Structure 1
């Protein structure tokens, strides 16, 4: 199972855990397959993270050059004095998890923007999706 930001959810992913509201009310059951409309509903309900089956999203982000990836690299240095403290190790691990999620979301957003820009350039130049000219 993998906890991901709703921004990275894609149709076809299956929920690894039920999605619940603050009061504990179940919104979507474990095992449901996500669709565009379900993802949109979750976003409208201000659900920011979901747990999906498997590990469909690369949360590495360490080599991506994002500000979050840089923060992950600095955590070991910042927590070096607390290597034997189990609580501080937990804090470091939680921060690393948070930065990985943020780095992956930032990278996905950049890729989506690049794809949109590429699509716009092809349309401007009269190139169809097969790479053929419009004439």
Structure 2
């Protein structure tokens, strides 16, 4: 299972955990398969993260060159004095995980913007208006 930003959710992914609102009421149950409309509903309810089955989002090298990816690269340096502190290692790993997800989400947003810009070009693909 993998916790991902809603920005990276795709139709066909299945929920590994139920989605709940601020009051703890279940909005969508475990095992539900996401569709475009369900993702839209979650966005309208201000849900920012969901937990899906498997590991559908590769966050290993995602977002290379983004601010979040740079933060991931600096974690080892920033925590270098705490190599023997078990709790600080856990903090470092959590931060790395967080910034990897943020980098992947940032990369997805940039890709979506580029696709929108490309779709705005005219039929001959030169970007000039007819």
Same fold (TM over 0.5): yes
| CA distance in 2: counterparts of 1:114 and 1:21, whole angstroms | 32
Q: Secondary structure at the match of 2:120?
A: helix
Higher-Rg structure is 1
Match of 2:55 in 1: 55
Considering only aligned residues, what root-mean-square deviation do their CA atoms show, in Å? 1.5
DSSP 3-state at the match of 1:118: helix
Alignment check: 8 A CA contact 2:62 2:104 kept? no
Please state how far the C-alpha of 1:105 moved relative to its aligned partner: 0.5
Instruction: Give unmatched runs, 5+ long, in structure 2.
Output: 126-130
Q: How does 1:19-98 map to 2 (within 5 A)?
A: 19-61=19-61, 64-98=64-98
Q: Which among 116, 124, 127 is matched to residue 127 of structure 1?
A: 124
Residue 5 of structure 1, CA deviation: 0.3
* Distance in 1 between residues matched to 2:124 and 2:5, nearest whole Å: 34
Which aligned segments of 4 or more residues in structure 1 are displaced greater than 4 angstroms? none
Alpha-carbon distance between aligned partners in 1 of 2:61 and 2:40, rounded to the nearest angstrom: 25
Q: Which runs of 5+ in 1 are unaligned?
A: 129-135
Q: TM-score of the superposition, structure 2-length normalised?
A: 0.89
